Structure 1
């Protein structure tokens, strides 16, 4: 998961656990911890980043916009069941991502050697995440985006090889176990009907 594109890691901050859905951005501390685990240079020094409630709310909105883009990417297949009813419509999602990506200015400075300087006017975190989304969705990997069909999984993933069906080995094992359990129950039900 660490080698997944940043846009996919952002979308994957909503996960399914035994007790239901978890949201890494449910608290300011959760968002801070997640950001500190990312490389968002040159936009943001994540080691010193601390979220506040305003940043958390705006980041959740941006994440939902990115999840709406993932839902569109897998269409006509159904989107992740985690939040498909709570996603913004595509035009609204695009507008949010584009406005968050826009306020940056790159320039080249030459003193002893050429250096890139990045000026971000506005929310640096939003700019980093939105630009990662633009790069991903406009890039070559988009046709390989899938929604994991494993029971209770709510993740999107990039299909890395032709036989990959699930986002992870654990989801593949869970799906196979569920199929086996379902087959055994069907056999048991038909055997019981024959004996009655």
Structure 2
């Protein structure tokens, strides 16, 4: 599996717009926490406090708790295994056995049980899946692993794509067959580079 990187100097760049599908699939948002920026590689989860902010902001952990360096490392390890599995899915290669084992370990970290929630409002009853054991972090990792497994094996598997912009390592869900980039920003950058190449070629002829 690959190793996450940290931005030089630790300065956080401006956040990128969410890639298509990341709002619906936390596993997709997770793999996109490691990016390549103009200043170099950046890891949104490099520090425990940043990893905690991401987990709580994603609704995967309750607020007002701490995250140890080891726990943040577990989150980064899951991210890297999901990235490797996404890559294997796109290339058609056999997955790294260690990545598959990491995902399956996270899937088994916390059992979930169904609970019927009914508060008498107009919304009516709804079935919820709740953790039946393990730590809050175990439950968060299991949710992320489950979402990744569903993406890899479910109806959206063929829509998972890697951004086609040079230097971008983000993944997204294709909203239509012609989409090649994770954001308008990447698309504009590619189009600008193509325009520059055409202009330069025309100037040398």
The interval holding the TM-score normalised by the smaller chain is: 0.7 to 0.9
Unaligned stretches of 5+ in structure 2?
Answer: 1-17, 120-126
The structure number with the bigger radius of gyration is 1
* Aligned match of 1:101: 107
Aligned to 2:198, which of 176, 183, 189? 183
Quote the offset at 1:133 in angstroms: 1.4
Cα deviation, 1:13-51, whole Å, max 9, x if unaligned, reads 0112110111001111210111111022xxx42x23421
User: So what's the TM-score if we normalise by structure 2?
Assistant: 0.76
Quote the offset at 1:172 in angstroms: 0.7
* Aligned match of 1:81: none
Unaligned stretches of 5+ in structure 1?
Answer: 78-88, 191-196
Are the equivalent residues in 2 in contact too, given 1:36–1:49 (CA < 8 A)?
no
1:1-196 matches, cutoff 5 A:
1=18, 3-40=23-60, 44-45=61-62, 47-75=63-91, 90-107=96-113, 117-121=130-134, 123-190=138-205
User: So what's the TM-score if we normalise by structure 1?
Assistant: 0.79
Name the CA distance, whole Å, in 1 between partners of 2:128 and 2:143.
19
Give the aligned length.
175
Name the CA distance, whole Å, in 2 between partners of 1:36 and 1:117.
17
The CA RMSD measured in Å over matched residues stands at: 2.5
Name the CA distance, whole Å, in 1 between partners of 2:114 and 2:76.
33
Name the CA distance, whole Å, in 2 between partners of 1:70 and 1:164.
18
Secondary structure (helix, strand or coil) at the match of 1:120 reads: coil
Are the equivalent residues in 2 in contact too, given 1:29–1:51 (CA < 8 A)?
yes
Quote the offset at 1:115 in angstroms: 7.4
